[in-house]
Amino acid sequence: MIYKYKNAPKRSVGENMTITDLFAEKEKTMDFVIGELDGFHGTFINEKNTKYYYILNGKATVTINDEKGEVEEGDFVEIPINAKHSIEGKVKFVIICTPPFDIHSEKII
């Protein structure tokens, strides 16, 4: 199956993030969305999903538990289940969640 970015639904997530739901089907084993962030997205803990970020362009600071790192185009980030995490910057990035994202399993810190 082919999923077209230009046809995918877009939505705001907080004040600074837009998500394009490229592949977000709950009955699948993962979801794949594109995030566009300009600012701070918040600090979260997810009790169900491992998240992966692939940076398409821009720069950001990612914090996972007590580790902080700068990311830029081409970098890849793994956020394990139950890790406290945040992202801040001006960046466009792929977000993959496995299993598919469940809003009820994510806590805002």
What pLDDT does residue 25 have? 83
If you search the block for the tokens 């994510």, which residue do you land on? 106
Distance CA 20, CA 12 (A): 9
What is the assigned CATH class of domain 8-103? mainly beta
User: What is the tens place of the pLDDT at every residue in 68-83?
Assistant: 999 999 999 999 999 9
Tokens 């997530």 sit on residue: 13
What residue segments make up the domains of the chain, in order of their start? 8-103
Full-model pTM:
0.94
Tens of pLDDT, residue by residue over 1-54, are 999 999 999 999 999 999 999 999 888 999 999 999 999 999 999 999 999 999
Residue 65's alpha-carbon distances to 6, 24, 28, in angstroms, are 35, 26, 28
Q: How far apart are CA 60 and CA 24, in angstroms?
A: 24
